[in-house]
């Protein structure tokens, strides 16, 4: 069985779209790292997750992946605060009682948290995938737009990974 790590934000749930809308309404400069860190650290993540749409049937696709018995599945998610980590874990536990969830502090590369060699990472952010592949892993880009060349194999539904390996 291959190790499969799946990003949360922008892959399973559209927290990025929701928070970017909030940032725009609040007129927060997205290019200012201090303002961004402050914004994400002070969010009510529990409330945000109840308002955020699931992307392309993400949790049901995860169940299909889990039930395929092809992968050791874990959710590998960057977090800006302990509150965010707790909220994400509690939210995911509503869908899965026995999946591994690995919160990663934003300042640390996902490759420093788990062994990436020969493991698969599904992520929407190409920077994470480039780091992953530089450490011997397999990067799969998640995107709702399959027409653009992303430099990685691209999927728009998580369960498509089942037929790839």
What are the domain boundaries of the chain? 2-13+53-163, 15-51
Instruction: Identify whether the C-beta of residue 128 lies closer than 8 Å to the C-beta of residue 30.
Output: no
Query: Which residues face 139 on adjacent strands?
Result: 121
Centre a 10 Å sphere on the Cβ of residue 93 and count the other Cβ atoms it contains.
12
CATH of 2-13+53-163, one of 3.40.1390.20, 3.40.640.10, 3.40.50.1000, 4.10.91.20: 3.40.50.1000
pLDDT score of 148:
67
User: Token pair of 149, please?
Assistant: 């060349």
Residue 119 has pLDDT above 80, yes or no: yes
Question: What's the whole-model pTM score?
Answer: 0.94
CA distances from 22 to 40, 76, 103 (A): 11, 24, 23
Using one digit for the tens of pLDDT, what is the confidence trace for 16-75?
A: 999 999 999 999 999 999 999 899 989 999 999 999 999 999 999 999 999 999 999 999
Instruction: Classify 9 as helix, strand or coil.
Output: strand
């Amino acid at each position: 069985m291959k190790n499969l790590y799946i990003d949360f934000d922008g892959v399973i749930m559209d927290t990025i779209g929701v928070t970017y809308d909030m940032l725009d309404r609040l007129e927060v400069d997205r290019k200012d790292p201090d303002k961004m860190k402050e914004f994400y650290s002070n969010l009510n993540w529990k409330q945000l997750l109840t308002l955020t749409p699931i992307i392309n049937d993400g949790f049901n696709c995860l169940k299909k992946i889990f039930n395929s018995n092809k992968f050791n599945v874990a959710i590998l998610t960057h977090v800006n605060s302990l509150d965010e980590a707790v909220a994400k874990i509690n939210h995911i536990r509503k869908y899965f009682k026995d999946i591994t969830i690995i919160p990663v502090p934003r300042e640390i590369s996902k490759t420093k948290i788990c062994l990436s060699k020969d493991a698969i990472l599904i992520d929407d952010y190409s920077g994470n995938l480039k780091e992953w592949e530089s450490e011997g892993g397999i990067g799969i880009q998640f995107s709702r737009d399959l027409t653009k060349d992303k430099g990685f194999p691209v999927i728009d539904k998580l369960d498509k990974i089942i037929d790839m390996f």
